[in-house]
Structure 1
């Protein structure tokens, strides 16, 4: 026991940290990312890689479903903390590390420990128990326990003492090898309903398998439980999984042979099944509804895209920004210098150029990350942090120049992103786009080039002490900053459906990253008479 505690303490010296960012929490996110680099802690790309969940922002994100889904998807030992002030980032991380080493559960988990775990067994368990055996759900409550030392002998749902014939490790008749009753596998309604293959055996991968989204965004279950990490892998059950005998909710009278039961969608265990709809070629194919966001890494905070997929092609997109609708008195961090200038405060051109440079470097970091270029993403964020820390024009230009040159010369990056999400200048102007997306007059690659050019020019101008003219110098990172007009990110959101429809699913995140809308702008509710300060 003591050896295990020592090993756990050593392993937790540099925990993986998962960020749950709400709109309006950009200062906290930037401070946290910089502190993680200083400490050498990893920024987790998915709940499975995380030990510490940090909820950022002053809004009600702490109790929202998507945050709770992230928390539940993390394995023990784990801890959760909230960061509402960028100046307290070091203290919050120290507290999270102490809680992680002590194996202390989150206060909310102590209150709802058994009830939440009991409900989750029914929601995600897949294998329904026969009537009269409700007592077999008694171990579901252990899913939320933080300290693994309290789980000796309770691995998953393997042990149900005293219930002969219902051994969860392999007692189901006709189910061969099931190493554990994993609550996120079983019969996910988004897995195994391939209308052309019936029951896919191990080794057969249909549908979306292999579409890596660039930076390890496993699962996408943080916005509603849609497991997309494995795509449509059929009914891959290891061995001996014939007919699904004894599985309530899956007996459709024909053992899923051919197309039985696939002509109409529905909801199973709270998850939507694929339905039929006309394809772009006039064929009727399965249509799967998949949400992206808001709990994704390198994703605009608060954005949810609800996609309708046919095969690997996006057929329909609905943009949901409900999480940004609550309103925040804090001005959007990236627009703060221009908002101050519009309010009548004196702002230097150098301050505006520094913020513009950092904003574009932040967007480039996301773009490189989702494109799979982790090294360049880290470099872009390093230069961003230097800009925000007050580096001079000469130093900042020296840091930015190699980054710009390397990105512009990369043939692989051009091959990967060219042709994705083309947005003509005429259509962009019609939508009201006024920023880099309008200047680019092209695809995701051209939008990246515009960012790179702006980084070079603004880095050289960050020492300019002349006053910013609010009448002519209102071009912020995403467009014109003017209180009399909609936020510049609003037309970018309006452009997303047209850019995504018809694109391959694997390209969706790159297209979003090439626009990088800032939902802080939509959440901001200015106070009368107040001067914005980020």
Structure 2
């Protein structure tokens, strides 16, 4: 699903932290009614949670339709009141109503749900109708018409970009632009737009707060959700960090993790560019490599994919020149790994990933131990003063400033920072093992 405006179900895997509630609410409010949010706290409960969500959505769709009919002129003359409140056939409790919601608003129409299937309960967001900018009193159970109109216009586009917009003011819930000097010293409208933290083909947890004038990015502030300080190693860096701590790790395991990481990054960039078929192939190969498929089973397919990406002129034309990062500049800001070796733009970084994937085939099925002093993970050196992805985040503002808004996601995807790496400093012996 490309945007929340095209979705009707928000699935949260794992139990969210209390501070995650704000941005989860923002994503849910970007979804058109009827919409459902479910929390699957344990992996074994996901299938059951999805089945229950499907039944609930069907019930809510019927209820929503009946509520529409009930609001039509003359509908109440026929006594059609039974549609309101149906679909809540599960036990519910109101555990996340905002403070301003009042009891007399609960029967305005069907309410949004949050179903916590990780613990076997159903929680309803009965208080959401209390937000005036989402639920005007004269619209009954419907959302504001501006909300619906925005799915094909400005609000729909902004809805998938983030969960809040900080502007000088709002009219009917729509953000108003400010004025500011552009690079030509002209006074033009400025719009502050956050992107993230949850988008398809986007680094999970990353938030960019952009200042736009027209379609040009004038300023960038990099933010992210809190990285849990749990004592676990980042998935993509795990083989090298374990070897650095003295564990026996085979070269095959490290080679597979590196190839899979680059295929994952390439698939994300190709999906953003619109090469969905090749992106899907990269992800399939990523899964096969991680699952332990023998080299003979993936060799030909991998090489064909690498050649297809490298020979495509339309692909090169679409991303060449975006996010130019020279090797000298990368080295100066502490960037290591493929982004440093690429010595160029988004297209060069994509080719570097594919080249390393092809080169990594030689390490598959190699049972020799990984050298303990090999500290080069998929995104760079793991024994430096800061995690590799921190350097990628630090260089993002200068690469995005001056770029067109439509190119911002391509530049981010071409760097593909892994926010899990930001917890390296809190992992005992990981960063400087």
Query: 1:72 matched to which residue of 2?
Result: 29
Paired with 1:311 and 1:168, the residues of 2 have a C-alpha distance of 34
Matches within 5 A, 1:157-176: none
Paired with 2:185 and 2:91, the residues of 1 have a C-alpha distance of 51
8 A Cα contact 1:329 1:524, kept in partner: no
CA shift at 1:327, angstroms?
Answer: 2.1
Query: 1:523 matched to which residue of 2?
Result: 423
CA shift at 1:81, angstroms?
Answer: 3.5
Judged with a 3 Å threshold, the aligned counterparts in structure 2 of structure 1 residues 222 and 112 are, in CA distance, closer, same or farther, namely farther
8 A Cα contact 1:334 1:356, kept in partner: yes
8 A Cα contact 1:357 1:455, kept in partner: yes
Query: 1:184 matched to which residue of 2?
Result: 147
When you count strand as a share of all residues, which structure comes out higher?
Answer: 2
Out of 456, 468, 479, the residue aligned to residue 380 of structure 2 is 479
Judged with a 3 Å threshold, the aligned counterparts in structure 2 of structure 1 residues 117 and 49 are, in CA distance, closer, same or farther, namely farther
Q: Deviations over 1:331-355 (max 9, x none)?
A: 1100000110111111111110100
Asked if 1:313 corresponds to 2:296, the answer is no
Asked if 1:224 corresponds to 2:163, the answer is yes
Paired with 1:106 and 1:218, the residues of 2 have a C-alpha distance of 34
Paired with 1:48 and 1:270, the residues of 2 have a C-alpha distance of 16
Paired with 2:217 and 2:5, the residues of 1 have a C-alpha distance of 27
Residue 315 of structure 1 aligns to a residue whose secondary structure is: strand
Asked if 1:436 corresponds to 2:338, the answer is yes
CA shift at 1:379, angstroms?
Answer: 0.8
Asked if 1:302 corresponds to 2:205, the answer is yes
Regions of 4+ moved over 6 Å: 104-109
Paired with 1:352 and 1:328, the residues of 2 have a C-alpha distance of 23
Judged with a 3 Å threshold, the aligned counterparts in structure 2 of structure 1 residues 269 and 318 are, in CA distance, closer, same or farther, namely farther
Asked if 1:497 corresponds to 2:377, the answer is no
Matches within 5 A, 1:305-454: 305-321=208-224, 323-454=225-356
8 A Cα contact 1:55 1:62, kept in partner: no
Asked if 1:96 corresponds to 2:50, the answer is yes
Judged with a 3 Å threshold, the aligned counterparts in structure 2 of structure 1 residues 425 and 115 are, in CA distance, closer, same or farther, namely closer
CA shift at 1:459, angstroms?
Answer: 2.7
Query: 2:369 matched to which residue of 1?
Result: 467
Judged with a 3 Å threshold, the aligned counterparts in structure 2 of structure 1 residues 167 and 352 are, in CA distance, closer, same or farther, namely closer
Judged with a 3 Å threshold, the aligned counterparts in structure 2 of structure 1 residues 140 and 459 are, in CA distance, closer, same or farther, namely farther
Structure 2: runs of 5 or more not aligned = 60-86, 116-128, 130-136
Judged with a 3 Å threshold, the aligned counterparts in structure 2 of structure 1 residues 300 and 181 are, in CA distance, closer, same or farther, namely closer
Paired with 1:181 and 1:397, the residues of 2 have a C-alpha distance of 54
CA shift at 1:493, angstroms?
Answer: 0.3
8 A Cα contact 1:367 1:513, kept in partner: yes
CA shift at 1:430, angstroms?
Answer: 0.5
Query: 2:185 matched to which residue of 1?
Result: 282
Q: Deviations over 1:287-317 (max 9, x none)?
A: 1100000021110011000000000000000
Paired with 2:393 and 2:252, the residues of 1 have a C-alpha distance of 29
TM-score (norm: length of structure 2):
0.77
Matches within 5 A, 1:13-92: 44-57=1-14, 59-60=16-17, 63-75=20-32, 78-83=35-40, 88=43, 91-92=45-46
CA shift at 1:108, angstroms?
Answer: 11
8 A Cα contact 1:220 1:293, kept in partner: no
8 A Cα contact 1:51 1:74, kept in partner: yes
Q: Deviations over 1:164-198 (max 9, x none)?
A: xx9759xxxxxxxxx98425268x9xx9xxxxxxx
Alignment size in residue pairs: 380
Structure 1: runs of 5 or more not aligned = 1-43, 120-134, 148-156, 158-165, 170-178, 192-202, 210-216, 228-263
8 A Cα contact 1:48 1:74, kept in partner: yes
CA shift at 1:426, angstroms?
Answer: 0.3
Paired with 2:54 and 2:158, the residues of 1 have a C-alpha distance of 24
Matches within 5 A, 1:235-254: none
8 A Cα contact 1:80 1:96, kept in partner: no
When you count helix as a share of all residues, which structure comes out higher?
Answer: 2
Paired with 2:285 and 2:18, the residues of 1 have a C-alpha distance of 30
Residue 223 of structure 1 aligns to a residue whose secondary structure is: coil
